[in-house]
Structure 1
Amino acid sequence: MRPFVETVEGDETLPRAVDLVVIGGGIIGTAAAFWAAEQGHRVALIEKGRIGGEQSSRNWGWVRRMGRDVAEYPLGIESLRIWDTLAQRLGHDTGFRRTGIVYTAHTDAEMTWIESVSRDADRFGIGARRLSPADLAERFPGASLPARAGLLTEDDGRAEPALAAPALAKGARAKGAAILTHCAVRGIETAAGAVSGVITERGRIGCKAVVLAGGAWSRLFLGNLGVDLPQLRVRGSVLRTKPLAGGPVHALGNGEFGIRPRLDGGYTISRRGRAKVQITPDSFRLLPRFAKGLREHRGELALTLDQGLWDGLVTPRRWADDAITPFERCRVLDPEPQERLLAEAMRAVTRTFPVFRDAEIAQKWGGIIDVTPDAVPVIGPADQLPGLVLATGFSGHGFGLGPAAGQLAAELATGATPLVDPAPFRMDRFSTARAAA
């Protein structure tokens, strides 16, 4: 069930002290570790399971600027620039290719969305091109696309989730970073009210700063420190096909599915706009803070009752630094794929691209996406604990934004000049919104 991920073996020994500890070996954490090590900082990257084992290897693999929240556009622009340089800097292929991304619209609501995205693209200098039905027919020969219009960003592209985070981790190691896998961080040590180290299941590491890039685990980890991060879990499902000739050359999103060409000649496919919010105890605790977003996206989100409820009920919310933690009891979130949604997606793809009648499904998997109330990530300091920087809540956008988001988090942790204004990503925006409400 788990998608293939390039293996990165962890180091056998713990460093006694470093400048920066990065918690989480996904795309954000590995990018933070790589940038900091590249700048000459002593870095330890710590992952409770395997590098890229959760959502960083389970996403669609799109690298886009188009269609972001306005707050994310500067980060997306910088991230695309960094993606261009990564393979050379790392010495490992991430699978990044600028092959273009197309969205289509056939309803009034989708047309309104495309018009809004076009305005945002113009505002930020992104070359988004409107496509007529004739243009779409030329871009997708032999396809049946009942669309009134499309929107293309030629410079956006794709990368391989199986390769990207491992490549960044290997690049960080080459720059001197320690890479620790199957090693959970149990807690953060403080001195004079600021970060002074981390306690792992294998021992203590002294440090001056910590970046928490824990994905869907971040709320639980922070809760043990007395930090309240509003974050829920959304369950997604994806499949990949075996190599297939004659399919689309662009990644495409419409009202029914998302599809991306893969380096191996196959395709990654998912049902678009049908994400499932897991019903957990946190769903009830956080409902007032998420109610507005759930109303606004009620056509795209639905509640689902699955293993997440039981897991939330039995998972401890507090633990001591010398106790076994939830992160050691569950190393990798690996939910079952939602077969019905994937079957719907495959039928829609086949209606659109008849060549997929001959497609063979190679694998299916599920994943857990970490979501904030406004679907914008948190990248910034935890004001309650100086020296701790958060990089989480990417709401399904983390893979494409990852290189810049990780760099931004590491810059904030080390005192460097940030590559974009971090103000829109501060966590205290939720406290302000709650007070205003």
Structure 2
Amino acid sequence: MSAPDVLVIGAGITGVAAALELVEAGATVEIIDRYGPAAMASGWTLAGVRQSGRHPSELPLAQAAVAQWPELAARLGAETGYRQDGNLRLARNAAEVETLRALVENQRAAGLDLTLLNDRDAILAIAPALSPLVCAASWCPTDGHADPVATVTAYLEKAARLGARVSMGESILHLIAEGGRISGVRTDQRTISTGAVLAAPGIHVNSILEPLEHSIPLRRPLVTVLRTTPQVLQLKPVLGVANANMAARQEVSGRLRVTSGAQDWSGEIELVDGKPVARPLMRRVMETIARISEVLPAFADAEIEGFWGGILDLTPDALPVIDHVPGCENLVVAAGFSGHGFGIGPVTGPLAADLALGRTPRLALEAFKFDRFANGNTMEAGLTLHG
């Protein structure tokens, strides 16, 4: 195969959405991943598709993505499991009510359809199975959720049908830099010449950047994820809580998927049947079960089908980097999505593709600049998950 115009590193939601955008624009594309589609963050995620709770800089991306999700299955020619059943963010005490009140005021001012529900009857009309512990909630009816593996696979297969080369099970060793440009990539199997590189490798981004004397300041906390067997319980909206220490949704299959908040983690990724696995501590699993059971009592009687850890690529401000790498004019990075990149993938992938093609990005990217952490600028920001 001749050298691709763009080599995409990473087959998560951002990488595959970028690959499709590139090939639809007429570029020759190869997408490469050491494990396979949705093997890490995009598969580990709760898979919420939300606007509520977003940073003001990220909200326009989320709104643009939500506008695309209803038609995405038709565009890709495959199911995504998308359901626009809303997001109900719960308050469990008076302090959390005030947190939600401020959230609603700020996001309504930004144009989002978000309501504070103080009436339990109104809350139970949306999610009847909630416990009396819930005293208020924010409600965004245009939020939703999707099947992450089905969505990523649909993107990848559509890109392949249009001519993208798909190379799974191949690891990047290093990029080949010459004269301020990337001329190729060395993998564990071959050397690939390329016109440009679009790197969307999640938590592995710095292994690509550090040989070029660049890096993104990242922490790698763990989120505990639980999945039940199919349940009779009908939970339509995605559930969150005001302090982001728990979220839940019911998949189309009837299974409940529940996530914890971000937790410090010092473990190692293991390979099981060729797939990366991060193992949460049992006490974290028990904490997560307790938190969801407090607000959704039926969960306590559900059978657990499995649990796993999802590792976040958490930046200091909990916002991604979507930018050219300084000094490497044909290297674009899209990483650091901090646990909430899935829902905006249909937009962030094309935005990264805009940069790789030399086009003016369709949305503002000033908040996502590579160099914003220079000179020790690492201000911490609040983290919201499930999306």
Please report the TM-score for the alignment, with normalisation by the length of structure 1: 0.81
Say if 1:107 and 1:353 are closer, same or farther in 2 by CA, change over 3 A: closer
Q: How far, CA to CA, are the matches of 1:77 and 1:201 in structure 2?
A: 40
> Structure 1, unaligned stretches of length 5 or more?
1-14, 279-304, 312-327
| Cα displacement (A) at 1:194 | 1.3
- Offset of residue 144 of structure 1: 1.1
The match for 2:249 is 260
* Distance change >3 Å, CA 29–CA 145, structure 1 → 2: farther
* TM alignment of 1:212-227, pairs within 5 A: 212-227=199-214
Which ranges in structure 2 are unaligned for 5 or more consecutive residues? 380-387
Q: Which residue of 1 aligns with 2:145?
A: 158
User: 381-390 or 182-191: which moved more?
Assistant: 182-191
**CA contact under 8 A between 1:230 and 1:372: conserved in structure 2?**
yes
Q: Which residue of 1 aligns with 2:339?
A: 396
1:91-170 pair list within 5 angstroms: 91-132=77-118, 133-170=120-157
Report the equivalent of 2:323: 380
| CA deviation vs aligned residue, 1:21-77 (integer Å, no higher than 9, x gap) | 110111111111111112221111010111111111011111101101111111111
What secondary structure sits across from 2:292 in the alignment?
helix
Residue matched to 1:292: none
| Deviation of the 1:143 alpha carbon | 2.7
The amino acid that maps onto 1:405 is T
Q: Counterpart in 1 of 2:282? A: 339
Instruction: Give me the TM-score of the superposition, normalised by structure 2.
Output: 0.91
Q: CA deviation at 1:142?
A: 4.3
User: Which of these residues, 372, 376, 386, is aligned with residue 429 of structure 1?
Assistant: 372
The equivalent position to 1:46 in structure 2, one of 4, 28, 32, is: 32
Distance apart, 1:344 and its partner CA: 2.4
Identity of aligned residues (%): 32
> Between Structure 1 and Structure 2, how many residues are aligned?
375
Aligned-CA RMSD value: 2.2
Q: More helix by proportion, 1 or 2?
A: 1
In 1, the alpha carbon distance for the partners of 2:185 and 2:101 equals 48
Deviation at 1:336, TM superposition (A): 1.0
Please give the alpha-carbon distance, in whole angstroms, between the structure 1 residues aligned to 2:374 and 2:49: 31
Counterpart secondary structure, 2:277: coil
**Worse-superposed segment, 341-350 or 213-222:** 341-350
2:359 pairs with 413, 416, 428, which one? 416
**Alpha-carbon distance between aligned partners in 2 of 1:142 and 1:171, rounded to the nearest angstrom:** 39
Other structure's SS at 2:312 match:
strand
| Conservation of the 8 A alpha-carbon contact between 2:35 and 2:276 | no
Counterpart-to-counterpart distance in 2, 1:332 and 1:392: 20
| Aligned counterpart, 2:267 | 306
Q: CA deviation at 1:435?
A: 10
Secondary structure of 2:88's aligned partner? strand
Residues 346-389 of structure 1 deviation map (CA, whole Å, 9 limit, x = unaligned): 23333433333431111111121111111110000101211001
Q: For the residues of structure 1 that align with 2:354 and 2:145, how far apart are their CA atoms?
A: 25
Q: Deviations over 1:272-300 (max 9, x none)?
A: x3x2233xxxxxxxxxxxxxxxxxxxxxx
CA drift at 1:335: 1.2
* 104-113 or 376-385: bigger deviation: 104-113
